[in-house]
Amino acid sequence: MIVLFTDFGLSGPYTGQMKAVLHREAPGIPVIDLFADAPAANPAASAYLLAAYAVWFPADTIFLCVVDPGVGGERPAMIVEADGRWYVGPGNGLFELVQLRAGETKSWEIDWRPERLSASFHGRDLFAPVAAMLARGEPPPGQPRDLGRRPDWPDELGEIVYLDHYGNAMTGLRAAMLPPDAKLAVAGRMLERARTFSDRLPGSAFWYENSNGLAEIALNRGRADRELGLSIGSPVEIAS
C-alpha cells in the first residue's frame, strides 16, 4: 500500500492531485490517508509523528511524505528504506527518527525527473511518481546517498508535536521510555499518568500512552489544547 503523510491540510486540491498521479501510475494499489495535517512546514515535529505511526504498518509499505518548506531549494529528494518500509520525500530531517530507530536502513537520492517539474509542488510531480515506481516493484530511481544525521535532535522530544481533532496533545515522547510513575510538567501544570479518559473525573487533565505509544496530554470531556493553552512546540518536561 501507499500511505500519505503530509501537511497539506484537510481542504484544498493538493492531496487530490497527488492521489490522481498515484491512480494513474500505480492503478490498483491501495492509497491510505494517514496524516494530511502534520505540523505545517515543520519537518522536525513531523519526524516524531512519522516514526511513531509508521511502525504500525507492515513491511513493504510505501510512505509518501511531504512536509517540505524548502521545496524547490537545495534540500535533496530522497528515498529511505528502514526495516523493510519505504519512505519517499524531502531530505530535510523528516526521516531522521525513522532512521535513528531502525535496525537497518538504506537511502538514495532521487535522480529521476519528470518531463515537467513544478518548482513548488514536488509532492505531485516528483515524489508521487517515485512512490508509484516503488509500488510497481521497480528499483529506487536514484543513487545511494547517506542523508547524514542530526545529533541535536533527541531520540525523545519533550514538546507538543500534534493537536488532534479533540484537542488532545501528542508529545514527541514515547511512553515506554518514561518511568511508570512519571509526571509531565506542561503550561505550569503537573500532570499525572492515567490509563485512559474514564479513569479521571470530567474536566481533569492528565497524560496517557496513546494507541501508537506516544505520551499524550488530554482533558476528560474537554479540550486540553484550550484549557492548558497548548500549541505545536509547547515544551513538556518529565518529572518523577
The pLDDT confidence band at residue 172, using thresholds 50, 70 and 90, is very high
Amino acid 148: pLDDT = 80
pLDDT (0 to 100) of residue 151: 87
**pLDDT for position 147:** 81
Q: Is a pLDDT exceeding 90 seen at residue 88?
A: yes
Binned at pLDDT 50, 70 and 90, residue 145 comes out as: very high
Which SS3 state, helix, strand or coil, does residue 239 take? strand
Q: What is the mean pLDDT of residues 11-30?
A: 98
Residue 111: is its pLDDT beyond 90?
Answer: yes
| Per-residue pLDDT at 149 exceeds 90 | no
Q: Could you tell me which residues come within 8 angstroms of residue 127 by beta carbon, excluding any fewer than 6 positions away?
A: 18, 64, 65, 66, 77, 88, 89
SS (H, E, C) 90-123: ECCCCCHHHHHHCCCEEEEEECCCCCCCCCCCHH
Q: Alpha-carbon distance 190 to 173, whole Å? A: 16
Q: Residue 102 pLDDT > 90, yes or no?
A: yes
Q: What is the pLDDT of residue 219?
A: 98
pLDDT at 153: 94
Whether residue 76 is predicted with pLDDT greater than 90 in this model: the reply is yes
Q: What is the pLDDT of residues 43-54, one digit of tens each?
A: 999 999 999 999
- CA distance linking residue 238 with residue 183, whole number of Å: 6
Expressed in percent and rounded to 5, the helix, strand and coil fractions of the chain are 25, 30, 45
Nearest to 220 by CA among 167, 142, 163, 157: 167
C-alpha cell at 141: 530511481
pLDDT at 240: 74
How much of the chain exceeds pLDDT 70, in percent?
Answer: 100
Which pLDDT tens digit goes with each residue over 186-232?
A: 999 999 999 999 999 999 999 999 999 999 999 999 999 999 999 99
Q: Rounded CA gap, 159 and 7, in Å?
A: 18
Determine the Cα–Cα distance for residues 49 and 62; give it in Å rounded to an integer: 16
Give the separation between CA 117 and CA 166, rounded to whole angstroms.
38
- What domains sit in the chain, N to C, each tagged with a CATH number? 2-144 (3.40.50.10790), 157-239 (2.40.30.90)
> Average pLDDT for residues 63-75, to the nearest whole number?
97
What's the pTM?
Answer: 0.96
Average pLDDT, the chain: 97
Cell numbers for 116 = 515537467
Residue 233 has pLDDT above 80, yes or no: yes
Cα separation of 98 and 153, whole Å? 12
